[in-house]
Amino acid sequence: MMTLLAFALALIGFTALALAMERHHKQVLLCAPSVWQRWLLRGVGLFGLAVSFAACVANAGWGVGWVVWFGLLSAAALAVALILTYLPPRMPKRPCQRLPR
């Protein structure tokens, strides 16, 4: 169960890091992220990866936990790459709306 949690956190982390990039943000949400959105997404991404690492080490120990973590990172990165490749062309095209300042 802890491994599934670590995978979900790694997936969330990589998704947030991908959306922090202007290219992927435009590809998915059809607008560029603001500066604070980029920083927030980067923070969420790094936090997700760090907690994923902690979950793997807590579950399997220091000797094997980091190996499990790298395996989960590989699977999560592949999943995000495939989603970014095949999902945006099938999404409805509607521009995102900016919040009023």
Closest CA to 93 of 37, 36, 9, 31: 31
Q: Assess if residue 43 is contained within a domain.
A: yes
| Residue 89 CB coordination number (10 Å) | 8
Domain ranges, residue 19: 2-87
Task: Identify the band that residue 36 occupies on the pLDDT scale cut at 50, 70 and 90.
Answer: very high
- The reported pTM is 0.86
Domain count, the chain: 1
Q: Assess if residue 94 is contained within a domain.
A: no
Helix, strand, or coil (residue 96): coil
Q: Assess if residue 29 is contained within a domain.
A: yes
Q: Assess if residue 100 is contained within a domain.
A: no
Q: Assess if residue 99 is contained within a domain.
A: no
pLDDT score, position 86:
85
pLDDT score, position 27:
84
- 46-77 pLDDT tens trace: 999 999 999 999 999 999 999 999 999 999 99
